[in-house]
Structure 1
Amino acid sequence: MTEHVWNYKSTSGHLAGTDLTGYKVEATDGGIGKVDKHSDEVDDAYLVVDTGVWIFGKEVLLPASTVVSIDPDERKIFVDRTKGQVKDAPEFHREKHLDDPEYRRELGTYYGLGGPFGGGPMV
């Protein structure tokens, strides 16, 4: 089954309406920060992660499809990318990119099947 890059996977455990702000985000090889903002809109779901000192205080935008699981008891979100893959994603500036369709296409290609992680486009 192909799932849209801007939607949560059906197996992630995400429940619409859950406030994920403040949840820790764990890559496959360690923590990358905390959720600063998120959306669970259909076809427009994402996490804005404050990386703190890890990437010099920058934020990153992760499409919801990168979420593997959510642990509400531990307040942690697990994503299926390494820290390096997140760090190498197209640079994100909230005021410039959050609502920019071209940036979304670029990021969707990077994280989707058209990027370094798979086959054809999935934007």
Structure 2
Amino acid sequence: MSEHVWSYRSTAGHVAGTELTGYKVEATDGGIGKVDKHSDEVGDAYLVVDTGVWIFGKEVLLPAATVVRIDVDDRKVYVERTKEQIKDAPEFHREKHLDDPAYRHDLGAYYGPGGPFGGPMA
């Protein structure tokens, strides 16, 4: 797993301290929901996305490196994954995401280079 999966790309336009809660999230093939929670902590940045009715209210955790662009004016976050790739990601566990290294490893391996849908991480 690449540790860079938990950091925003330098080209994403992320500014530390920007409140992303409520921003719409766009996959490469359309909208997937809204940011419910986020962290911009260095080396531990992520988005928790509420998918609403799209996949029956499932929440997903997206490592920060999946973010390719943040549009502050339109309040949108663009991620470099398809809806299907996000839908098939390991299930989000609210109680584990902060404290369970194995869970974070599984997510990092899924989204990072070498994972089933991992792409290049800048």
Distance (whole Å) between structure 2 residues aligned to residue 98 and residue 84 of structure 1:
25
- Kindly report which structure 2 residues correspond to 1:16-95, keeping only aligned pairs within 5 A, or say none: 16-95=16-95
Q: Offset of 1:11 from its aligned partner?
A: 0.3
Q: Which moved further from structure 2: 2-11 or 42-51?
A: 2-11
CA contact (8 A) 1:39 1:47 kept: yes
**In structure 2, what is the equivalent of residue 106 of structure 1?**
106
Q: Offset of 1:58 from its aligned partner?
A: 1.1
Q: Offset of 1:20 from its aligned partner?
A: 0.3
> In the alignment, is residue 6 of structure 1 matched against residue 17 of structure 2?
no
Distance (whole Å) between structure 1 residues aligned to residue 7 and residue 96 of structure 2:
22
Q: Offset of 1:95 from its aligned partner?
A: 2.0
Amino acid at match of 1:17: G
State the identity as a percent. 82
Find the residue that maps to 2:61 and give its secondary structure. strand
Query: Unaligned stretches of 5+ in structure 2?
Result: none
Superposed CA deviations along residues 32-75 of structure 1, whole A, max 9, x for unmatched, are 00000000001100000000011111100000000000000000
The aligned length equals: 119
Find the residue that maps to 1:41 and give its secondary structure. coil
TM-score normalised by structure 2 residue count: 0.91
TM-score normalised by structure 1 residue count: 0.91
CA contact (8 A) 2:26 2:78 kept: yes
CA contact (8 A) 2:28 2:82 kept: yes
Instruction: Give the number of the structure with larger relative contact order, counting CA–CA contacts within 8 Å between residues 6 or more apart.
Output: 2
Off by >6 Å, runs of 4+ in structure 1: none
Q: Offset of 1:97 from its aligned partner?
A: 3.2
